[in-house]
Amino acid sequence: MADLSIIVPVSGVVSLAFVAFLVWDVLRQPKGDEEMQRITRAIEEGARAFMRRQYTTIAYLAVVVAVLFAVALGAVRGLEAGFRTAGAFAMGATFSAVSGYVGLHISIRANGRTANNSLSSLDQALRTALRGGAVSGLIIIALSLLGVWGIYHLYGGPSAPEQDKVILSIVGFGFGASLVALFAQLGGGIYTKAADVGADLVGKVEAGIPEDDPRNPAVIADLVGDNVGDCAGRGADLFESTAAENIGAMVLGVALVPFFGINGIMFPLVARAMGLMATVLGVFVVKGREDRPPMSALNRGYFVTMAVATALFALASWGMLNPANGLAFDTRIHPLTWFFFFLCGVVGILTSLAFVYVTQYYTEARYRPVKEIATSSQTGAATNVISGFSVGLEATALPGIVISAAILISFYLGETTGLSAAIGGTPIPIGGLYGTAIATMGMLATAAYILAMDTFGPIADNAAGIVQMSGKGAEVRGRMDRLDSAGNTTKALTKGYAVGSAALAAFLLFSAYLEEVRLLREAKGLAPEISIDLALPAVFVGAIIGVVLVFLFSGLAIRAVGRAAFYIIRDVRDQFREDPEIMKGSHRPNYARSVDICTRGALREMVAPGILAVAGPVLVGVFLRPTGLAAEAVGATLMVGTIAGVILALVLNTGGGAWDNAKKLVETGLYGGKGTETHKASVVGDTVGDPFKDTAGPSLHILVKLLSTITLVLAPLFV
């Protein structure tokens, strides 16, 4: 059997080289005129100030958590295991932070350059924005891949005798990544929406000035927010998804060593590497045309990425997962094993497509749901909110069915391979579980491209803001509006994609958790079977707490935005009152003051939900220890919490996106357009949706993965 694993470091390095090229390509674009540069600098300063403070806060929190966990695990499993996990944790946290930081810096620089390029050509603007976004996308996925690969080799690599221990000690990498992701998304999400809600409410609704009007003191904070919330947050989210997915699949791969040797463990990394290569190609082919919608150019790149990724996936499956081809052979094993596993990958790729289409249906103005919200805005804000919320609730059904189908189909495809394993006498349906793992890999194969499209969104949004603020002509504004609208679509799609992949990755991590509990039990001389049987009261209670955790967390996150927004609204009102010249446009408002108020507010408010997310599952395990079912109860918290988290995230993301586009639909002139009561009502819905879709929803994606990694790391405490 071919050893394809060399492609892992190669693709990582190639991607980083391509990133360097993209950075050079973006930075060589002209920065625009004095006014544009002034605005860009203000955004840069604000973003840098926020990121500096935020990452300092996160670093402190991460150190505290790392020490606590190293001590706890050290006490249970010995000092070395504790240190290894803590080391992996530190590395995961650092890599996540670095990739977020670099990506963000380039995105901000791409803002002004995209705006300037839009003066002359749509293609130039589109490419600058997408390439700026691709820097984030590629660096995130490449560092995630190189990180897991590097730490695996650091801790012994393929030649280590006990593969399971090696891989379990790198679970800390995923946990470090999720912790940073949680705070990056929470802090950034609170910041961006507090600024957005504040700017919208006081600007559009109260003062009656347009979006991105330079007279609004919160306008720079709002633009900064797009970068720190949308770019940095989603980047950390998908960094974590891919890292967690790699690790989870590698844990399962250990059970496949008898069949595929080390290939079972390396396959997830190779599959990811293939996806990276496909993305490089996909980004390269995108070219905008003045007479075509920007979305069709972006979609072309996406389909190229997807097609190449599928082909490479087939290659990798055939090369690495072909038992007849090499190390092991067993007549119970289907000769087309590699093909069934490849089909699992295809299931994953199709799942991502399905999520993209379903999200489009529920959030685009062409379809029934958004139209319905716009219609109900005619009767006021209340009916608009009711209608949007019901759309969000309704939008959980199709994704729920898609995820269910993906899990079942990939599981049974995997079962068909005939692979099975046993731990301490308990048979594990490893073929089926590995099938779901491969579906997750398929879903995440295009992650880098999706991330590039996602970051394209805020870059286009900011560029449109800069064009608007620097008072450019209607033609340029029209061009930017087209890009911005494509950006809104890509942002919505990515959220659907992110939540779908979080759900699949979580199912994979459950299996890893159960595997780990079995191994721990075996090591303690207990019967290794574990079932998360909801009929047992303690397990049922664990499930209740899982759901409560998700809801409480969302409540705290949303409340944080409300509170932070309240400060900004007061500041803007104060500024208008203190200096009436601002509204006349003759005095410049104090942008920095709003940025500063927002930064402090967001960082203060992210602490409570963050602590809840980390402490919640631990407390379940501790409190339910006397029942003797702590590991099972924590498993229920994890699984049912994940389901509830994914579904609630769908409500919040979709509802928010639909409200946003219903407002935009009204702004196109429907029911009287801007300035009418209908429009005001639609703005209320949009504002309500802001913390849903950009704070609580995306934070939930991370919460569900954090639940998985934290329970996996701390499993020794519950058994």
Site for a copy of itself in 186-245 (CB under 8 A): 197, 201, 205-206
| Residues contacting a copy of itself: total by CB under 8 A | 77
- Closest listed residue to residue 511, CA positions, set 177, 254, 241: 254
Looking at residue 205, what DSSP letter applies?
I
**Subset of 652-691 contacting a copy of itself (CB under 8 A):** 683-684, 687-688, 691
Nearer to a copy of itself, 16 or 386 (CB): 386
Binding mask 481-510 for a copy of itself (x = CB under 8 A): --------------------------x--x
Q: Which of 543, 595, 606, 614 binds a copy of itself (CB under 8 A)?
A: 543
The helix (run of H) or strand (run of E) holding residue 421 is strand 421-423
Report in angstroms how near the CB of residue 609 gets to a copy of itself at its nearest. Answer: 11
In sequence order, what are the residues at sequence separation of 6 or more whose Cβ sits closer than 8 angstroms to the Cβ of residue 397? none
By beta-carbon proximity to a copy of itself, the closer residue of 476 and 712 is 712
Under rule CB under 8 A, residue 533 binds a copy of itself: yes
- The residue within the footprint of a copy of itself, chosen from 13, 68, 382, 611 (CB under 8 A), is 382
Which range binds a copy of itself by CB under 8 A, 63-71, 146-154, 490-498, 547-555?
547-555
The helix or strand, by DSSP H or E, that contains position 426, with its residue range, turns out to be strand 426-428
Window 279-318: residues binding a copy of itself (CB under 8 A): none
* CB of 262 closer than 8 Å to CB of 161: no
Residue number, 335 or 400, with CB nearest to a copy of itself = 400
420 contacts a copy of itself (rule: CB under 8 A):
no
Give CA–CA dist 711/429, Å, rounded: 22
Task: By CB under 8 A, name the one of 51, 558, 665, 717 that touches a copy of itself.
Answer: 558
Give the C-alpha separation, 631 to 125, whole Å: 53
614 binding a copy of itself? (CB under 8 A): no
Helix axes 232-254, 474-523, angle to 10 degrees: 30
Show contacts with a copy of itself in window 47-76 (CB under 8 A). Answer: none
**Burial call 384-393: b when 16+ CB within 10 Å, e when fewer:** bbebbbbbbe
Q: Which of 37, 379, 420, 590 binds a copy of itself (CB under 8 A)?
A: 379
Provide the terminal-to-terminal Cα distance of the chain, rounded to the nearest Å: 38
- Does residue 566 touch a copy of itself according to CB under 8 A? yes
DSSP state of 428: E
Q: How far apart are CB 133 and a copy of itself at their closest, in Å?
A: 29
The number of C-alpha atoms within 13 Å of 448 and in the hemisphere containing its C-beta is 36
Which is nearest to 95 in space by CA: 257, 295, 195, 236?
236
CB of 42 to a copy of itself, least distance (A): 25
Regarding 7 and contact with a copy of itself (CB under 8 A), the answer is: no
CB of 393 to a copy of itself, least distance (A): 3
Shorter beta-carbon distance to a copy of itself: residue 453 or 498: 498
Interface with a copy of itself (CB under 8 A), residue from 387, 470, 575, 709: 387
Q: Which two tokens stand for residue 566?
A: 């309240």
Residue with Cβ nearer a copy of itself (330 or 529):
529
Assess 413 for contact with a copy of itself (CB under 8 A): no
Report yes or no: 155 and 251 within 8 Å, Cβ to Cβ: no
* Part in contact with a copy of itself (CB under 8 A); list of ranges 23-31, 129-137, 318-326, 393-401: 393-401
Element (H, E) at 423: strand 421-423
* Binder of a copy of itself out of 277, 480, 561, 598 (CB under 8 A): 561
* 547 binds a copy of itself per the rule CB under 8 A: yes
CA 362 centroid distance within chain: 20
Q: Which of 78, 210, 555, 585 binds a copy of itself (CB under 8 A)?
A: 555
**Closer to a copy of itself at the Cβ: 201 or 421?**
201
CB of 165 to a copy of itself, least distance (A): 23
**Binding status of residue 556 toward a copy of itself by CB under 8 A:** yes
Scored b (16 or more CB within 10 A) or e, 617-649 reads: bbebbeebeeeebbbbbbbbbbbbbbbbbbbbb
Does position 636 interact with a copy of itself (CB under 8 A)? The reply is: yes
Q: Kindly state the smallest distance separating residue 484's Cβ from a copy of itself, in Å.
A: 22
Segment interacting with a copy of itself, rule: CB under 8 A, options 76-84, 262-270, 543-551, 599-607: 543-551
Task: List, as one string, the DSSP characters of 108-172.
Answer: HHHHHHHHHHTTT-HHHHHHHHHHHHHHHHHHHHHHHHHHHHHHHHHTTGGG-S-HHHHHHHTHH
Determine contact, residues 453/302, Cβ cutoff 8 Å: yes
| 531 or 668: CB nearest a copy of itself | 531
- Binding of a copy of itself at residue 434 (CB under 8 A)? no
Q: Is the dihedral of CA 67, 71, 76, 79 positive or negative?
A: positive
- Give yes or no for residue 390 binding a copy of itself (CB under 8 A): yes
Instruction: Tell me the C-alpha distance between 229 and 188, whole Å.
Output: 4
Between 61 and 688, name the residue whose CB sits nearer to a copy of itself.
688
Q: Is 707 in the site for a copy of itself (CB under 8 A)?
A: no
Among 121, 360, 383, 426, the residue binding a copy of itself under the rule CB under 8 A is 383
Among 424, 627, 671, 676, binds a copy of itself (CB under 8 A): 627
389 binds a copy of itself (CB under 8 A): yes
358, amino acid identity: V
Contact between 329 and a copy of itself by CB under 8 A: the answer reads no
Which of 59, 333, 552, 592: binder of a copy of itself (CB under 8 A)?
552
Cα 288 from Cα 127, distance rounded (Å): 7
The closest alpha carbon to 129, from 458, 433, 390, belongs to: 458
Question: Which region among 37-45, 302-310, 558-566, 589-597 touches a copy of itself (by CB under 8 A)?
Answer: 558-566
Nearer to a copy of itself, 349 or 643 (CB): 643
Q: Please return the burial class of 471, using the count of CB atoms within 10 Å of its CB with bins 0-12, 13-18 and 19+.
A: exposed
571 vs 44, 199, 258, 514, 554, CA distance in Å? 21, 10, 65, 51, 26
